[in-house]
Structure 1
Amino acid sequence: MIIMDGVDKKIISCLQEDGRASLSEMGQKLGLSHVSVRNRLKNLYEGLVNVSAGLNAEQLGLRIAIINAEVETPERLRELTDLFSKCPRTFFIATTTGAYNVMMIMIAEDADTLNAILEACSIRARKGIRRSEATVGEAPIIPKYLPIKIVPDKKMEIAPCEINCGKCLRYKNKKCLGCPSTKYYRGPL
């Protein structure tokens, strides 16, 4: 377990305000040398902190779906979480306790695509799901920036969820933009 002291927390706070802040800027703000900030960051980057680009979901007009599901077996739960961890529309997966044992949050560019995802591509449409519930919403208020996966080279025939968008009836009827990782995708991501 990594233990953070007050200085570490101040460095993380600086990065949360501006992930592009230089070592010198953070050092000046915190009364530290840039070398001291660099050394502390080096330790924090070893498993505790990750600085990455997030996308403004509201500016992109994205909608979200929170999907709770009860998966039959621990093995199937592991298989499904591995499968959906590769999906560019999935940005959150957690195992849970209570009525459901997994929660997933996915994004889509419009209501039609979101409906298509919920019916065919999401975890709730998979073998081994006893029951599921989906809550659909607009872009989140907090956090404003989401860790949405961008796939720059859209060359795949089969999506990470093992669906072929080119053969999907919803895609053919223009009721889905397709998977952002495939050559069929016709959306902005």
Structure 2
Amino acid sequence: MDRIDRKIIQALQMDGKMTVADLSERVGLSPSPCARRVRHLERSAVIKGYVAVIDQTKVGLPISAFASIKLERQREEDLDRFAEAVAHWPEVVDCYLMTGQRDYLMRIVAHDLEAYERFLKQKLTRLDNVASIETSFALGQVKRSEILPLE
């Protein structure tokens, strides 16, 4: 990746709906080479996709719960089985394999506390190998960004 690719990525992070004409003008490249570079960034999975950023409260999902999970065992097959299950749960919007005292940290969104309780009882606690779960609830969001600091 060169300086122009970084400029393209930075611009698309700010506005993924930007036209190729606007993008090419912003990065100082003519439209055809700019479009080729974008296609290359997409094919090489530097650009993984395009999404609309949604206000979770306005769509009825005001609860963000952060669950910290400890497994009984951390063998590769146990980690893979956990990751496979979590990948199918739409309530889990972020999940990270962690170092330290806990094995996973996930952010779960819910309509209300009862919905989170259902998720916990019907999904998370039913997984084999889960030793403990600690949940914290967000009181408010201070910052959220999908923009990576490329410079």
TM-score by length of 2: 0.81
Distance in 2, matches of 1:138 and 1:119, equals 23
If asked which structure has higher relative contact order (CA below 8 Å, sep 6+), I would say 2
- Alpha-carbon shift at residue 5 of structure 1 (Å): 2.1
Q: Which residue of 2 aligns with 1:28?
A: 25
Would the aligned equivalents of 1:61 and 1:139 in 2 still touch at CA under 8 Å? no
**Structure 1 SS opposite 2:100:** coil
Query: What amino acid does structure 2 have at the position aligned with 1:58?
Result: T
Distance in 2, matches of 1:79 and 1:52, equals 28
- Alpha-carbon shift at residue 29 of structure 1 (Å): 1.5
Distance in 2, matches of 1:125 and 1:139, equals 29
- Alpha-carbon shift at residue 97 of structure 1 (Å): 0.7
Distance in 1, matches of 2:37 and 2:140, equals 35
Q: Which residue of 2 aligns with 1:77?
A: 79
What CA deviation, in whole Å up to 9, does each residue of 1:69-114 have, x standing for no partner? 1112322221111111011111212111100111221111122212
**Structure 2 SS opposite 1:79:** helix
Q: 1:144 to 1:61 in 2, by over 3 A?
A: farther
- Alpha-carbon shift at residue 125 of structure 1 (Å): 4.7
Distance in 2, matches of 1:65 and 1:27, equals 41
- % same residue: 21
- What are structure 1's unaligned runs of at least 5 residues? 146-189
1:42 aligns with 2:36: no
Runs of 4+ in structure 1 deviating by more than 4 angstroms, as ranges, are none
Would the aligned equivalents of 1:15 and 1:21 in 2 still touch at CA under 8 Å? yes
Alignment of 1:1-189 (within 5 A): 4-45=1-42, 46-50=44-48, 51-62=50-61, 63-71=63-71, 72-74=73-75, 75-122=77-124, 124-138=125-139, 140-143=141-144
- What are structure 2's unaligned runs of at least 5 residues? 147-151
What CA deviation, in whole Å up to 9, does each residue of 1:132-162 have, x standing for no partner? 21112256443278xxxxxxxxxxxxxxxxx
Task: Give the length in aligned residue pairs.
Answer: 141
Instruction: Indicate the structure with greater helix content.
Output: 2
Distance in 2, matches of 1:18 and 1:103, equals 29
Distance in 1, matches of 2:135 and 2:109, equals 12
Structure 1 stretch displaced more, 72-81 or 131-140 = 131-140
Query: What amino acid does structure 1 have at the position aligned with 2:51?
Result: S
What CA deviation, in whole Å up to 9, does each residue of 1:14-63 have, x standing for no partner? 11111100110011112111112111112211211122233221322421
Over the residues paired in the alignment, what is the CA RMSD in angstroms? Answer: 2.0
